[in-house]
Amino acid sequence: MLIEKADGEQWLLDIEKDPQEDLGIVFENDLMSEYQSCCNKCIFCFIDQMPPGMRETLYFKDDDSRLSFLQGNYITLTNMKEKDIDRIIQFHLAPINISVHTTNPSLRCKMLHNRFAGDVLRYLERLYERGIEMNGQIVLCKGVNDGDELIQTIEDLSNYLPVMKSVSVVPAGITKYRKGLYPLELFQKEEAAAVIDCIEHFQELFYKQYGLHFVHASDEFYLLAEREVPKAERYDGYLQLENGVGMMRLLMEEFMEGLKKRVQQPEYQKERTQKKQSLSIATGKLAYPLMKELAEMVTKQYPGIRIHVYCIQNDFFGETITVSGLITGQDLVRQMLEKKQCGSHMGTTLFISSNMLRMGEQVFLDDMTLEQAETQLGMQICPIDSDGEQLLFAMLDGQHEKSHARDGFVYKQAYHKKDEP
């Protein structure tokens, strides 16, 4: 490696390392330059719906193509120039995840509140022509880009198949802090069902032609419509898990496979009669029915295990926010204490999803620490990954390897030694 120092002196280094070992270079800024911020004011922007007084980093709107490649973030393309697209093509940075929302140029300008938002859609064509793999996202706003607009957007994006691998359709998140913002409404059951019907119609057509279902409704739409989420094969390898597309199905599949393996083990009968423990799981409204179902599978096989699943309502952002990742420490603690005071059984350990905590830290969205929550509740809190098999281990093994939760590791660490904190 050739290194040039600030004074112009050059060092040529030979570095011996294992193929998977990190090179060992650390930059002052992870991206080597400042993060690119968003220049839009989208009508559905979640950050604009945040309450005041939270930590500064929560109000930063990133829209950086490097983060799209490195971390899977979605970008709008509105702050990019031709040279930026050239760079993506030159280095073949893929996949690039793009927030499309609509292919109607004038409507996209309105939704993103940016007069250039329609023009940059031409970049999709360039990326397609050069074979840069893409994934698309449509944040669906009732009465804005749904209905015929959604149909047209799906048809337009299908022209980029198979280079564009998937498109997710997710409902706009609406908090209680929308004063002065564009008036948005929640999708009702029948409207959510209509969105699903539209998407599943296209899935059938695309699969016959390309072998990909391509467009996918998020789990939340299926919850709203009170329909079962699709089978695993409909998700084309779960390309949009971070957008809540297929997360519930994957969790269920992993959990059931793990339970099947456990039950087939020779020592199962002995373990089945000996295990006696009581624990709790706290989750959001979206995942609550599934968590209840999975817990019942375990208790049916292990009569001595008691699993209490509690639904935490999001009072901080408003009850319309149903995902576990946006549950704050104060909502968790207050509602669990209320349940305890009402005589609800808790057990000695409370399991939560690790996405309630800031990545790499033991801090909730509202800056309450895990230790503070444990102190107030008087019980151990163990974060676990969104992994069905690890959830099963947590239910069956209770406090096994619980020290990892305090050291900044998720519960998964107890079972996979190579996982990073």
Structural domains present in the chain: 35-245 (3.80.30.10), 249-414 (3.40.50)
Helix (H, G, I), strand (E, B) or coil at 308: strand
Amino acid 56: pLDDT: 78
Asked if residues 151 and 194 have their Cβ atoms less than 8 Å apart, the reply is: no
Strand partners, 140: 171
| Partner residues linked to 350 by β-bridges | 280, 381
Q: CA-to-CA distance for 225 and 220, rounded, in angstroms?
A: 9
Q: Which residue has the tokens 């994006």?
A: 157
Joined tokens for residue 296:
């019942």
Q: What angle do CA 33, 39, 41 make, to 5 degrees?
A: 145
Given the structure tokens 């409207």, which residue do they identify? 191
Among candidate residues 68, 83, 4, the one with its CA nearest the CA of residue 36: 68
Tokens representing 188 are: 């009702």
Q: In a 3-state reduction of DSSP, which class is residue 261?
A: helix
CA dist., res. 262 & res. 393, Å (int): 10
Query: Tokens at residue 219, please?
Result: 């789990």
The answer to whether the Cα torsion of 406, 412, 416, 419 is positive or negative is: negative
Residue pointed to by tokens 């830290």: 361
Q: What is the reported pLDDT for 212?
A: 95
Minimal CA–CA distance to 46: which of 30, 35, 62, 31? 62
pLDDT beneath 50: ranges in the chain: 399-421
pLDDT given at position 274: 87
Token pair listed for 223: 């919850």
* pLDDT for residue 356: 94
pTM for this predicted structure: 0.84
Under 8 Å between Cβ of 174 and 187: no
**Rounded CA separation 248/294 (Å):** 11
- DSSP code string of 338-370: HHHHTT----SEEEEEGGGB-TTSSBBTTS-BH
**pLDDT score, position 321:** 93
CB 339 within 8 A of CB 365: no
Which whole-number Å values give the CA distances from 72 to 75, 100, 152, in the listed order?
9, 15, 26
How far apart CA 374 and CA 149 sit, in angstroms, is 48
- pLDDT score at 420: 34
